[in-house]
Amino acid sequence: MCQGGAVSDDDLPFLLLAAGNAVVESVQSAMQAHGFEDIRPAHGFAFVRISGPGCTLVDLAEHMGMTKQSTSTLVAELERKGYVARSPHPLDGRAFLIQLTERGVAATVAATEATSGVVRRWRRELGAGHVEALTADLRVIAREGRVRPTW
Say how far apart CA 116 and CA 31 lie, in whole Å.
13
- 8 A C-beta contact, residue 1 and residue 10: yes
pTM here is 0.83
* pLDDT score of 3: 56
CATH topology of domain 12-141: Arc Repressor Mutant, subunit A (1.10.10)
What is the three-class DSSP state of 71?
helix
The model's pLDDT over 91-106, given as tens digits with 9 standing for 90+, comes to 888 889 999 999 999 9
Say how far apart CA 47 and CA 107 lie, in whole Å.
9
The model's pLDDT over 34-60, given as tens digits with 9 standing for 90+, comes to 999 999 988 988 998 999 899 999 999
Say how far apart CA 50 and CA 13 lie, in whole Å.
29
Strands (E), 47-122: 84-88, 96-100
